[in-house]
C-alpha cells in the first residue's frame, strides 16, 4: 500500500482531527507522568483549536489525508519561538512522523531567522527528553509550576 505524508499549515477544517491527535497523545503524556488532574491541552475544544489555527502557526501532519500529528509555534518579538501542543497519534509513534514535524520546524526557524526555540516537557518522561535531545534541544531549567517537574528545553539556531 502507498502512503502519502503531508506536513502543512493547518486550516480550520483540520480542527477536529487535531483535537483527536491532542486528546490521544496528551492522555498518554498525563498517564506517563502520573498526573491526577486534566492538563490544559485536554481541555481544549475544537473551537479553541480553530482559534489557534487563525492566531498562531499550527502545523499538521496528514497521513493519507487524516491528521496524525500536530504542533504549535508562537513567535515572540525577540526572534524566539515557543513550541506547544506537539503530539502524534499513538499508532504512529516511532515511525518518523514526529521527527519529520521537527525537521519542518527546523527549516522554518532557519528560513525566518529565528535564533532560539523553547518548549516544556515532563522531565520524568525519558522518551520525550531523549527525543528532544536527539533533535538538538538541551535543558535550560526545570520547574514544578504545574504540579510536576517540567524541563524547559531550548534549541539554538
**Segment 32-55, tens digit of pLDDT:** 999 988 899 999 999 999 999 999
- What confidence category does residue 1 fall into, taking pLDDT thresholds of 50, 70 and 90? low
Q: Percent of the chain at pLDDT above 90?
A: 94
Q: Are strands 150-156 and 116-122 parallel, antiparallel or unpaired?
A: antiparallel
- Max Cα distance, the chain (Å): 46
CA–CA distance, 43 with 87 (Å, rounded to integer): 15
Could you tell me the CA-to-CA distances from 86 to 60, 69, 82 in Å, in that order?
10, 8, 11
What is the arithmetic mean of pLDDT over 113-139?
96
Position 3 scores a pLDDT of 79
- Is residue 125 over pLDDT 80? yes
Could you tell me the CA-to-CA distances from 152 to 72, 85, 148 in Å, in that order?
16, 14, 13
Give the tens place of pLDDT for each residue, 57-83.
999 999 999 999 999 999 999 999 999
What is the arithmetic mean of pLDDT over 122-130?
95
What is the arithmetic mean of pLDDT over 110-122?
97
CATH no., domain 5-156: 3.40.630.30
- Is residue 20 over pLDDT 80? yes
Owner of C-alpha cell 489555527: 53
Domain ranges of the chain: 5-156
User: Chain-wide mean pLDDT for the chain?
Assistant: 96
Q: Percent of the chain at pLDDT above 70?
A: 99
Q: For the whole model, what pTM was predicted?
A: 0.94
Buried b (16+ CB within 10 A) or exposed e, 58-94: bbbbbbeeebbbbbbbeeeeeebbbbbbbbbbeebee
Classify burial at 42, counting beta carbons within 10 Å of its beta carbon; exposed 0-12, middle 13-18, buried 19 or more.
Answer: middle
Amino acid at each position: 500500500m502507498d502512503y502519502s505524508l503531508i506536513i502543512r499549515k493547518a486550516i480550520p477544517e483540520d480542527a477536529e482531527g487535531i483535537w483527536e491527535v491532542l486528546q490521544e497523545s496528551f492522555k498518554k503524556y498525563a498517564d506517563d507522568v502520573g498526573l491526577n488532574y486534566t492538563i490544559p491541552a485536554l481541555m481544549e475544544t475544537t473551537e479553541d483549536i480553530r482559534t489557534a489555527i487563525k492566531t498562531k502557526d499550527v502545523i499538521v501532519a496528514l497521513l493519507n489525508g487524516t491528521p496524525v500529528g500536530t504542533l504549535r509555534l508562537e513567535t515572540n518579538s525577540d526572534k524566539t519561538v515557543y513550541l506547544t501542543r506537539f503530539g502524534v497519534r499513538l499508532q504512529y509513534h516511532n515511525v518518523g512522523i514526529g521527527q519529520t514535524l521537527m525537521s519542518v520546524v527546523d527549516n522554518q526557524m532557519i528560513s525566518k531567522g529565528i535564533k532560539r526555540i523553547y518548549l516544556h516537557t515532563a522531565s520524568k518522561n525519558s522518551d520525550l527528553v531523549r527525543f528532544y535531545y536527539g533533535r538538538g534541544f538541551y535543558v535550560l531549567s526545570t520547574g514544578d509550576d504545574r504540579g510536576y517537574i517540567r524541563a524547559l528545553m531550548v534549541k539554538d539556531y
